[in-house]
Chain A
Amino acid sequence: MIELDWYLGLSAVLFTIGVIGVLTRKNAIVIFMCAELMLNSVNLTLVSFSAQLGDVHGQILVFFSLCVAAAEAAVGLAIIIAIFRNHLTVDITKINLLRW
């Protein structure tokens, strides 16, 4: 049997890779995918706790987080398309819409 620590450690490593990706990459779509990676690693944490405690509620939470991720991907990609139409780039260092 594998200890719970290994699952949680794997999840922590995946989350950290996602954070590093969000902080270093410039392409908005890749940043979005890194956010999905972080969501996914949190899902892994929820599932491993759920399996360890014999409780179904963690997996229900993963179900809802999947739904939120789907909605977020739809709206976020639509925003990226709208930005691309106006600026012809998805490079976040060249987009200053929210800068005052």
Chain B
Amino acid sequence: MEIYFFILFATLAVASAVGMILSRDTVNSALFLVLNLVSVAGIFLLLKAQFLAVIQVLVYGGAIMVLFLFVIMLLNLNSEENMLSRFSVKYAVAFFLGVIILSMLVYAIASATGTLPYISPEMEQVGTVEALGDALYTTYMLPVLATAVLLTAAVVGAILLAQRKYRKVK
């Protein structure tokens, strides 16, 4: 049963990722990315990371992608006339870089996974909100506070950047 779900979600994720970089319309790209994020959330569920699956759909699929769609529609972008770059050299470079990166990753995975344990007994308790919250608010207290500062700084920076009029700096 699990393997069928994995095949379903993996196919959906890869297909939507390919659709994202191939679609001509930016809005379609964003919607394909939403589909990709949701299917990755399904894979998180298969890995028993329930909390992260919910967070993935809420934060990524909800908040961030709404932001993207908002900006796309605010800028009123029409679809690109020639979607890919002009230079055909660029295709070749991208293709070779992609092949090299993929083969490096596959090699790293193949050489590393031989030593890993097949399944861990504590896995059932790991992905719950209790376990994550316990670690977050004890061991990772300082990083959580730093995240709060980071997000505040990001919001302030975004507001300053997107303001219509800049105050002149002497």
Name A's B-contacting residues (CB within 8 A).
1-10, 12-21, 23-27, 29-30, 32-34, 36-37, 40-41, 43-44, 47-48, 50-57, 59-60, 62-64, 66-75, 77-82, 84-85, 90-91, 93
CB neighbors of A among B147-164 (8 A)? 147, 150-151, 153-155, 157-162, 164
Number of interface residues of B (CB under 8 A): 86
Interface of B is mostly: helix
- Judge whether A29 and B2 touch: CB under 8 Å: no
- Judge whether B21 and A20 touch: CB under 8 Å: yes
What B residues does A20 contact at CB under 8 A?
Answer: 21, 94-95, 97-98
Q: Tell me, in angstroms, the Cα distance from A13 to B120 when the chains sit together.
A: 25
- Judge whether B118 and A34 touch: CB under 8 Å: no
Among A6, A44, A78, which residue has its beta carbon within 8 angstroms of that of B158?
A78
Cβ of B8 under 8 Å from chain A: no
What B residues does A36 contact at CB under 8 A?
Answer: 33, 60, 64
- Judge whether B64 and A75 touch: CB under 8 Å: no
- Judge whether B113 and A33 touch: CB under 8 Å: no
- Report the minimum CB–CB distance from B76 to chain A (whole Å): 10
Q: Tell me, in angstroms, the Cα distance from A42 to B153 when the chains sit together.
A: 25
A67 nearest in chain B by CB position = B147
